[in-house]
Structure 1
């Protein structure tokens, strides 16, 4: 049984994590939940999972929450996030807060001896060197939640960075993979929010449409796996079934495949190195039929070059 604190419980990753916890009540216990402003959903989650502590971003919403959550402590703001991140009963803290707000709770969790699972890529993009150094110092793990980094993590298990020739992050190419660059100026927000493979939050969906998100993932991979940036590559894979690959110095390539569903990398982050039985994700390779790969268009998507 893993005792899990979930920061960002009402967002896309947070609600998927709640599904995983609901699927695996004998493997995962949510002992703490934090949300930004969605007090209604936070209260519903708290009634379902009965955590020790919840926190809401807006202090003025505490008074509304407390009467609904008998026996559950309610905190707020950054202080609430830090209290959750250092909760004595927690084994692991999953950080799914959009933006930079998750950095201080991540460092607090590490310094309290907690493993962290990182869905907020901004943490490693802006402070990867610091976060990984602190994790080594305190003897805790930094586990990936992104599907690409989860795939690489699984391919690298038990292998040293010196055995790696390249990390190969896959990208769907987004909704504008085949759109001529000359038409980019007329693209609408609604078009950019129609991702061909994944259901995600609005910000990451927009960043995926420009492939800016993939550039951030390159930086994240560089720090998470201690691999120099020249050894981090991207290949476009429209089916989003191969989640990423590792090429080793002998020329072998390992990959992790599945139907695209964020519940799978979330589950692995919270249960590894074990594999919990779950029927949520099913993959029929014969039905998929083909797997295509192509080089990204760096002129159309300059963020990939800028990430280096």
Structure 2
């Protein structure tokens, strides 16, 4: 049986890993639609290589370039929000949701509403509107499969076990490029230094979230919704080798863990296989003797306050994670532009969480409400940036 796959965020790192796997298993999969951001040339090349039937760009202005690049191919295409949703509406068995940031909410939710199996790599969907997403997944009989290596490892370690038998779930962090840096050195870090992740290459924004450990905070919130587990049973541990991705601590004292080489094709293959294991060509098998030793250390929330802020938002609940994510996206973009220092990211996010703590106490009822909160907080954050710079 051939399965049809739609890839949202096809030109990003997850999208490229997905297309590599699909190319290795052409007898099992075909590509229905591919969606990108604004790079018409890259998406057109990918659409031709995969034999996609439909291609869409989120940036409407890039539409003419996409049409020109696909001329004569027979591949239908479009640009803008309507075209992205049209791509999601194409027939598919699995939708790989890998659009980065809050921009991924609408297309990911549209796939869920169609009852698709969604391989979820857009953690912001659950951070910003987790309750609504999980409710609608059940309502529309959709499956959410975790692509993030940490959550995929937790899912495999959990197996058929009951969450009620779990004492704690722990996700690992590499520690990022600043794991051994002093607070003073981190404060003076440049965007290039923050983006130099020691293990993964995930794009500028995600790499910087990893440097601040905000990425781990987002992943704790995602785990809370995926596994219906309370915040106080979730934890983070730093593991520089990035071989152990997630651990499940059982109430009888046993621990099961998900281990693999740091290769995103491993969790993607687990999702695409739908219960069957796919062979990964050119994959590096895990050799523990060659690895030598695996080390672990506590996460330092003093040097990495974004993790502390994310834990607080998760504990507070309501729309606090939605607010936090919106402010973080504005702050990271400002840091990349050189407008604020590295710790300006956590400063702005914490100010936003305080500002909106009582205003958005209730969790968003749906994606539209989550995006309205997101827009409001982004506007406030953009206006707060000049005041932060003026204050030094």
Q: What TM-score comes out, normalization by structure 1 length?
A: 0.96
CA contact (8 A) 1:57 1:76 kept: yes
Aligned partner of 1:111 in structure 2 is 113
- Show CA shifts across 1:64-84 (max 9, x none): 333443221112111112112
CA gap 1:294/1:29 in 2 versus in 1, 3 angstroms: same
- The offset of 1:90, in angstroms, is 0.2
Aligned partner of 1:278 in structure 2 is 280
| 3-state SS, counterpart of residue 172 of structure 2 | strand
Q: Tell me if 1:75 matches 2:78.
A: yes
Q: More deviation in 277-286 or 217-226? A: 277-286
- Show CA shifts across 1:236-288 (max 9, x none): 11100001111111111111111101111111111121101223322221111
Aligned partner of 1:307 in structure 2 is 310
CA contact (8 A) 2:177 2:196 kept: yes
1:297 to 296, 300, 306: 300
- The offset of 1:109, in angstroms, is 1.1
Q: More deviation in 93-102 or 208-217? A: 93-102
CA contact (8 A) 1:8 1:14 kept: yes
Q: More deviation in 165-174 or 64-73? A: 64-73
Q: What TM-score comes out, normalization by structure 2 length?
A: 0.76
CA RMSD of aligned residues (A): 1.3
Q: More deviation in 167-176 or 19-28? A: 19-28
| 3-state SS, counterpart of residue 218 of structure 1 | helix
Equivalent pairs, count: 307
CA contact (8 A) 1:2 1:271 kept: no
Aligned partner of 1:143 in structure 2 is 145
Aligned partner of 1:174 in structure 2 is 176
- Show CA shifts across 1:42-97 (max 9, x none): 1111111111211012334333333443221112111112112222x201111111
* Distance (Å, rounded) in 1 between the aligned partners of 2:136 and 2:27: 31
Aligned partner of 1:249 in structure 2 is 251
* Distance (Å, rounded) in 2 between the aligned partners of 1:273 and 1:81: 29
| 3-state SS, counterpart of residue 199 of structure 2 | coil
CA gap 1:68/1:195 in 2 versus in 1, 3 angstroms: closer
Aligned partner of 1:8 in structure 2 is 9
Aligned partner of 2:206 in structure 1 is 204
Structure 1, unaligned runs of 5 or more: none
* Distance (Å, rounded) in 2 between the aligned partners of 1:30 and 1:271: 15
CA contact (8 A) 2:265 2:280 kept: no
Residues 208-247 of structure 1 mapped to structure 2, 5 A cutoff: 208-247=210-249
* Distance (Å, rounded) in 1 between the aligned partners of 2:216 and 2:119: 19
Aligned partner of 1:155 in structure 2 is 157
Q: More deviation in 15-24 or 211-220? A: 15-24
Aligned partner of 1:62 in structure 2 is 63
CA contact (8 A) 1:28 1:270 kept: no
Indicate the structure (1 or 2) with the bigger Cα radius of gyration: 2
* Distance (Å, rounded) in 1 between the aligned partners of 2:85 and 2:159: 31
CA contact (8 A) 1:3 1:92 kept: yes
Structure 2, unaligned runs of 5 or more: 312-392
| Larger RCO, structures 1/2 (Cα 8 Å, 6+ apart) | 1
CA contact (8 A) 2:9 2:99 kept: yes
| 3-state SS, counterpart of residue 120 of structure 1 | coil
| 3-state SS, counterpart of residue 297 of structure 2 | coil
Residues 31-50 of structure 1 mapped to structure 2, 5 A cutoff: 31-50=32-51
Higher helix share: 2
Runs of at least 4 residues off by over 3 Å: none
